[in-house]
Chain A
Amino acid sequence: MRLLFVTKVDSGDRVYRSHWRSAMRLLLVSKLHSWGGAVSTITRYTEVGRTLGHEVAVFGEQLADIPVPCSLDVEDFDYAVFVIYGASDFPDLPYLARLLDGLPKDRRVIIDCCGRYNDTIRVEHDFNHLERLDGHQGWEWIEGFEAVSDRILQPTLTPRRDDVIPFLFHGFDPGAVSRPAALPISASGGRGDATSKPYGAIYVGNNWQRWSQIAAFLEAVEPIKDKLGPICLSGWDWDKRPDWAVEHGVRGVDVDPELLRRLDVETKYAIPFHEVIDFLGQARFGPVFQRPLFNHLGLVTNRTFETLCADTIPLLMLPGEMVEAIHGPDARSLVPDGDVAGRLEDMIARPEAYWDAVANVRAHLAEHRSYGRRFEELLGVLGS
């Protein structure tokens, strides 16, 4: 027997509009590369969309190194979803013209991943607008976005502007969890042997506006570094401040090679997005850092959720309220609350308690932050 209950289950008044579409065709617009940005999230959207009976493709020529369907046939799609980190996420002019001509403004939305659609905000030396870097002043982000779409979404629960739609965009993929039934002994080094994992802590992310937090973390763990084990930073520009940053006087790609040397921190070039979860699993602990701007605006990233998929105990170096709102109440124990070394020592001594928390957080994320749920939310926005 198959029963279909017909009732209004949503507080909105347009609940039936998009959900009854047989299939939605979405064209995602963003500059993809294997080492960062939205590549992981967009890949998940193409997979989940297909699973749910929709068609999702990325605007552009077919990519050789990223397994997502790509298309330039704008007219074949219902909506264009611009996923914007920087100005270069907009296509070059010839492609952009095709896109704007083929899909009218009311069929375009922008997901503003870095809070560009705000007044200029500075947090430490992190900005949402930095003309020195990309040539665009603050007003251009506002007026430029408004020229492309009337609907701007931001991956935060607490947007600053009334005309921004909160939409977390990034999500949790329960199917990507490395060891869903991981035993508590995992964090203590497999069989209680701290050397069975090659690293004590791994952070995967590029050196952009994170150094102040990384430096504070390293200084905090220095007294317990032997107990913790080797530390690895994987991403762009962790070995030295790049020449372009020096030449343009751009802060935010700072690094202190002497501190890294003192703690024997290994720096690796960025790894491709599909290797991140396995690589994080080579460490006992996976600290999650976000740019100061992102913490200030409550913006989430792919890494906010992806680290929970790895076989590692995440150390959420994020504001506690944000963690509780996004990851659920059990995640509070994964926030060091100002005592990084103390919390890590406790995690080393009592890994079972923290693995229990990880399991609960994963369950919370699977229920509330899954890509399937995200996708349906996006369809709801598009249909509204």
Chain B
Amino acid sequence: MNVLFIMDKRVNAGSIHAVANHIKAGDDLGHTIALYGHADPRYDGVRFSTDIEFFDRVVFIIESGLRWMSGLRVPRVLEAVPRERRAILDADGMHNPLIVIDGYDRNFASEPERATWLRHYELLADRILQPTTDVRVSGVRAVPFYGYDLTRRARASSKRFDIVHVGHNWWRWREVSSCLLPAIERIRNQIGEVCFVGSWWDHVPAGAVDENREMAFGIDPERFRRSRIMVRQAVPYTDVITTMSDGRVNVMTQRPLFRHLKLLTSKYFEIFAADTIPLVMLDVERAEEVYGSAGPELALDGDVERKLLDALAKPEKYAELADVVRAHLATHHSYHRRVAELVEALA
């Protein structure tokens, strides 16, 4: 099957890494997969195409915005591809009721915004896929989409940091400030360098206040400074795994809405491709569901500082646990499997 993805591509965010992996795995399996556009040297490993008619299916990967589906971009696709050949990968779980988690994270600001969003979906396609194990709305099909790239396992490398966190400050601040930072602060003198890699940990992006999105970008630079936490800018998807490998321990956090909707992301799997001890801020049930029997041992589900110290003190033990998870991921979450699932869903 020939599959064309269309998305708001960003070199350091979103689903671009998964797209690159689908393209590679698709080649192995005899499927031609590409991203809509012209060749772009910033996107290593991504095949681009604008030959829309060549493809059997077009998949719109929709994340947290609609603006990229501009009237300049979409008409050509709609005219060239009949509706039955289009699908939506609803990466951020927008095809759901309005959900607000603890008065904080939410999929929509209001019902009118949700109605607008769903109207876009109605016009684009009937087939809606979500990267979750917990579909809540009829007519939506679960397709995990994000997976583990067996070929990208990082080699052992020297460690600049004891703890690294890779991810943007987008609806993560409440968990980071109430769980992760207090734990780091309590053990700060017992551990080495700590680094957060990603956007908006040191500033709120321009326009966030005007667009009423400020709540998604809580920051406290003074607290970071006091805790001697370094901030580094976001890295392209091609460097995520090597950047994670700079840390003896990596912590993965996920925005509350995604946790609630059990949405998968690239980070779930990139952290296991890195040469690091992966610790995931998930409840143990979810960790077991995704990562298998060893998953709960790597979950930061309460008593975070004890687990951080334990991982730093006993790296061999945690490396073994991570290897058990890697074996599980290779079996159950490879990109070969992901591509097969996608093709089946689009058939």
Q: Which residues of A contact B66 (CB under 8 A)?
A: 92-93
Q: Which residues of B contact A100 (CB under 8 A)?
A: 75, 78-79
| Neighbouring A residues of B205 by C-beta, 8 Å | 247
Cβ of A244 under 8 Å from chain B: yes
Stretch among A4-12, A71-79, A142-150, A319-327 lining the B interface = A142-150
Q: Which of B68, B75, B206 has the most CB of A within 10 A?
A: B75
CA of A100 to CA of B80 in the docked complex: distance in angstroms? Answer: 13
- Contact check, B74 vs A140: say whether CB atoms are below 8 A apart: no
| Measured CA separation A88–B73 after assembly (Å) | 11
Contact of A90 with B71 in the complex, beta carbons under 8 Å: yes
A-B interface contact total, Cβ < 8 Å: 73
Determine whether A183 belongs to the interface, using a CB cutoff of 8 Å to chain B: no
Distance in Å from the Cβ of B273 to the closest Cβ of chain A? 29
B155 at the interface (CB under 8 A from A): no
Quick one: which of B8, B38, B71, B116 contacts A96, CB cutoff 8 A?
Answer: B71
CB of B137 within 8 Å of the partner chain: no
Q: Which residues of the other chain, A, contact B120 by a CB distance below 8 angstroms?
A: 92-94
- Closest CB-CB distance, A131 to chain B, in whole Å? 10
Give complex CA distance A146, B38 in Å. 17
Q: How far is the CA of A242 from the CA of B207 in the complex (A)?
A: 10
- A148/B75 in contact, CB under 8 A: yes
Q: Report the minimal beta-carbon distance from B37 to chain A, rounded to whole angstroms.
A: 7
Q: Does B70 contact A (CB under 8 A)?
A: yes
Give the residues in chain A near B124, CB-CB below 8 Å.
93
Determine whether the beta carbon of B37 is less than 8 Å from that of A137: yes
Interface centre among A92, A136, A248 (most CB of B within 10 A): A92
Whether B79 pairs with A147 at a CB distance below 8 angstroms is: yes
A181 at interface, CB cutoff 8 A: no
Given contacts A143-B50, A242-B206, A247-B206, A135 and B68 within 8 Å (CB-CB): yes
CB atoms of A141 and B119 under 8 A apart: no
Distance from B257 Cβ to chain A, minimum over Cβ atoms (Å)? 24
Residue of A nearest to B40 (CB): A137
Partner of B76, one of A88, A92, A93, A143: A143
Q: Which residue in chain B gives the minimum CB-CB distance to A247?
A: B206
Is B313 an interface residue when CB atoms closer than 8 A count as contact? no
Tell me whether B347 is interfacial, beta carbon within 8 Å: no
**Interchain nearest-CB distance for B108 vs A (Å):** 16
Q: Quick one: which of B38, B67, B206 contacts A246, CB cutoff 8 A?
A: B206
Most buried by B among A93, A136, A140, A141: A93
- Assess the A93–B123 pair: CB atoms within 8 A: yes
Which A residue's beta carbon lies closest to that of B203? Answer: A247
Residues 124-168 of A contacting B (Cβ, < 8 Å): 134-137, 139-141, 143-148
With a cutoff of 8 Å between Cβ atoms, the chain A residues found around residue B123 in the complex are 93-94, 97
Instruction: Tell me whether A144 and B69 are in contact (CB under 8 A).
Output: no
User: Are A96 and B206 closer than 8 Å at their CB atoms?
Assistant: no
**B72: which of A97, A144, A244 is its contact (CB, 8 Å)?**
A144
A89 to B237 alpha-carbon distance, docked (Å): 32
User: Is A61 interfacial (CB-CB < 8 Å)?
Assistant: no
Residues facing A in B95-114 (CB within 8 A) are none
A21 to chain B, nearest CB (A): 28
Question: Is A65 close to B, CB under 8 A?
Answer: no
User: Are A140's CB and B206's CB within 8 A?
Assistant: no
Q: Do A139 and B71 touch across chains, with their CB atoms under 8 A apart? A: no
B16, chain A: closest CB distance, angstroms: 14
Cα(A244)–Cα(B207), bound, Å? 7
- 23 contacting pairs across A/B (C-beta < 8 A): A87-B70, A87-B73, A88-B70, A90-B72, A92-B120, A93-B66, A93-B69, A93-B74, A93-B124, A94-B116, A94-B119, A96-B71, A96-B75, A100-B75, A135-B70, A136-B72, A139-B38, A143-B50, A144-B72, A243-B206, A246-B206, A247-B205, A248-B206
Interface residues, chain A, CB within 8 Å of chain B? 87-94, 96-97, 100, 134-137, 139-141, 143-148, 242-244, 246-248
